[in-house]
Amino acid sequence: MSKDNFVKYIEEKCIQKNHFPPFSSGDTITVFFEIKEGEKKRIQSFKGVVIKRQGKGLTKTFTVRKMSGEIGIERIFIFNQPSIKSVVINKKGKVRKSKIYYFRFLRGKKARVKSR
């Protein structure tokens, strides 16, 4: 068994697949994920704009950016992360690039994404 076949076999057997609605960069989404604090578990939400999607197969990731006051917060999520409970699409955005890194440097009204 070659290395590639072995990795695919482990991914198929061990990683559970999450099924989310299709979204792309520029969309505003809310990600609900589970946080464990000691013995307690709770669900927390993270609402922001998708800056990028990258990777392939079961190791795909997406980055979500939100503004907390004047500070921008980015968080990277793995698609098949077991702690992610659901993803809700709040607004579809229209952008011309697949990775909108320029979005980090925009402030005020310029930091808005047009709706589709």
Tell me which residue range forms the domain holding 82.
3-106
Q: Assign 8 to helix, strand or coil.
A: helix
pLDDT tens track, the chain, 116 positions: 667 788 778 777 777 777 888 888 999 999 999 999 899 999 999 999 999 999 887 788 999 999 888 888 999 999 888 889 999 999 998 988 888 888 888 888 877 888 87
CA end-to-end span of the chain: 47
Residue 113 lies in a domain: no
Tell me the pTM: 0.83
Residue 108 φ then ψ, to 5°: 65, -135
Residue 66 lies in a domain: yes
Residue 111 lies in a domain: no
Residue 94 lies in a domain: yes
> How many folded domains does the chain comprise?
1
